[in-house]
Structure 1
Amino acid sequence: MPRPRRPRSADAFPYDFSPKTSPDVFTAAADALTARGWQQGETFRMLPSRVRADEVCLAPIVGDVDVPPGNSEAEWRDQEHKNEWYHAARRLAAAMSEAGWSSYGTTQQGTSFRRNAGPLADSVPESAELAAAPPGAPVRLAAIAAEVGVKDGDLDDAIREAAHEEAADAYNGGARPELDDDGAHRAVHADAERRAADINNAGLGAQLGFLYAQCASEAAFRSLLTDLLPS
């Protein structure tokens, strides 16, 4: 049976999710939308990214609601109100695209945008081998990694973290029921440590395959690799 969720200790989580958006990115995003008829605080709002300094989270404001449908903080009048918000979000994204910004995913707070970034197309430099390979094939993942600038050793910590996140989910789902809670917790994380070591020791190809399995597309995979690279 599922166990009560057990948080990871802070020292076991290597990534810093404090606000990171730089002031000039806030200003540039606000200027881009203001020039296209949007009003900060009235028709759109901005939040800092917790991933990158060159990224900002934006959302339209529709009837005092500034978060996407599905966010428990929002109070929706009806389905029409939600539809109005979605239409406004599309107009906001179109305005940012016109200004030279690209969207990099949506959360429960809004959509992340980066300035002067290439579009998130599911594409890599083509060759006969790449063109014939299906999405997610090792040769395509290697090409994306080379395009982003991934080098040996860059992904070791990310692999370890991802393995332990899977272990935490397994523990919370009731894995190793033959053990008591502490024993099960230690066991699943020991297994995760061994799995991460095996993947890292197998080299970059194994690391890319493991991370791609957690992504919905090659575009999401490219974005993940970019976020994981040392700044």
Structure 2
Amino acid sequence: MSSTAIDTAKKRMRFVLILSVTLLVIILARLVWVQGINAATVANAAQQNREREEVIAPMRGSIEDRNGTTLAVSVDRYDLVIDQREQNEDIRRAKRDGSNGHERISWDQAIQELAKALDQDPEELAKKVRPQGDAKPKGYVVLAKSVTPEVRNEVREIGIPRLSSLLRGERQYPQGVIAGPLARLCAQLGGPDIRGRCRGARTEPRRPPRRHRGRPQIRNQRRRCAHSGHRG
């Protein structure tokens, strides 16, 4: 082997050695930065990527009578709100016919589909979805309140950007409100009228309050049902 070939081989070996040492130094420097100097920031960023905070509203339990008939139940309802800021000229969404791929639709088409899902007037709904004229875009506009989960899912399929749903609980009474029938039943049985007053009630003031350490004490008045003798 000639001396020229040997020199060329030595130069290549030096180049590979220098490159390897440089890469090793970069890796070690990065390791020191991540594990030593900036360890707390990197750990917090990793934790935020793995965890997310979600507020779960407490749900009230159902009320049933002794026969198992539901008298009161809590159901999920949603408020639909939209952010008018940073809206593009058109909307890109997944195809609604079940096929793969995406499609682009205009805002007019999206508003028409949204109005049909919410059973609202398209013109009035368009004023809420997009800013009109030179009006300043708003960050929080309520489109509908207390919609069912089915309507909420249908609205999400339309693909309108920056439209979100807020979960809220709602109390429903499948058998109707029972306070009215209970009051009528109590009146028929001759008991006290529970609709906010006692029949034939009179107010009797108590004896004058005594003073306590120089400060007057005020006591509540009492009510007595004349016909039943109960005190309220």
TM bracket, shorter-chain basis: under 0.3
Q: Specify the structure having the higher radius of gyration (Cα).
A: 2
TM-score by length of structure 2 reads 0.21
TM-score by length of structure 1 reads 0.21
**Which structure shows the higher strand fraction?**
2
**Which structure shows the higher helix fraction?**
1
